[in-house]
Amino acid sequence: MRMIGVKGILVLVVTTFLWTITLAGGGQPKPDVDVTCVFMESCILPCSHEGGIKEDMLWMKANMLIVIEYNYTRTSKDLPVSQQYINRTSLFEDQISKGNASLLLTGVDVQDEGKYTCAIRIGYGYLHQKINLKVEAPVGEVDIEQVGNRIICSSERIYPEPEITWSTSPSSNVTFNTTVQKTDQQLYNISSSLVLSDSVSGLVYSCNVSTRTNWRNATFCPPPCRNKAADVSCSVVGVLLIVAAAAAAAAA
């Protein structure tokens, strides 16, 4: 690993400071743009200038981390990048002169979430665009099973923090306990359980795991309703419900 000397560190600090001052007094900012990126996938943060880009440009995170920098006399590979983004960011360099300053971020991580600034040098000032990046690890498989006199519903590796809700058919009051654990990658595992009712039989239990943007559902029907017909009606998941709704809308 190449070591950066004290002189290099000072140059980086001074450069960042100058960028900060210039950004504060630069061109009129564009409206913020919200972008949602999927965990561990690639994502494009958009930024452009209709007049083309003929000088320098820079991508920074809100805490002043340099994500990537472009200088028309050097390639972006020659310029300093914060450790978090090494080998994970790139520009569409063959399109920069045409005004495309978008950033390609690969292997999106939860720690990438936050506000980014794209700064394009225009004469003596900088035109800047702010991007609010949100990370999402969608709800995947939802497991539901009976263990003793309890029904347990669980799902893993979700972001942001999910929640679980229960319902029954026919409708009845249920009490459940939910636990949420955070993984080393800042994702969430969630599990919830309820005690089977002794007074009411034939209930179909439905568990819904959701975040701010997506959800999945699983249902469970304990004995004695376990028969071929009940298996079909009790195996519905959230994805199938979405497909059915879309088909109904198309037929309307």
CA angle 95, 97, 98 (to 5 degrees): 65
Tracing tokens 């099973």 back to the chain, one arrives at 145
Residue 113: closest CA among 38, 214, 32: 38
Residue 210 has pLDDT above 80, yes or no: yes
We find that the CATH architecture of domain 6-136 is Sandwich (2.60)
> DSSP string spanning 126-137?
EEEEEEEEEEEB
Q: Whose CA is closest to 88, among 111, 71, 72?
A: 111
**Mean of the per-residue pLDDT values of the chain:** 79
Whether the model clears a pTM of 0.85, i.e. scores above it, the answer is no
pLDDT band at residue 200 under the 50/70/90 scheme: confident
Q: Copy the structure tokens of residue 219.
A: 């249902």
**Does residue 224 surpass a pLDDT of 80?**
no
Give start-end residues of each CATH 2.60.40.10 domain in the chain.
6-136, 143-251
Q: Which fold has domain 143-251?
A: Immunoglobulin-like (2.60.40)
Q: Is the alpha carbon torsion for 159, 105, 35, 28 positive or negative? A: positive
| Poorest-pLDDT segment among 7-11, 76-80, 88-92 | 7-11
Q: For residue range 114-132, list pLDDT tens digits in order.
A: 999 999 988 888 888 999 9
Tell me the mean pLDDT in the region 67-87: 73
Poorest-confidence range of 8-17, 35-44, 130-139, 219-228?
Answer: 8-17
Question: What integer pLDDT is reported at residue 203 of this predicted model?
Answer: 87
- Fill in the amino acid letter for 238: G
Burial of 148 (C-beta count, 10 Å sphere; 0-12/13-18/19+): exposed
Between 212 and 138, the more confident residue is 138
pLDDT at residue 82, as a whole number: 79
pLDDT classification of 55: cutoffs 50, 70, 90: confident
The answer to whether 133 touches 116, Cβ cutoff 8 Å, is yes
Residue with more model confidence, 50 or 186: 186
pLDDT, mean of residues 61-75 = 78
CB of 94 within 8 A of CB of 52?
Answer: no
Number of neighbouring beta carbons within 10 Å of residue 50 = 6
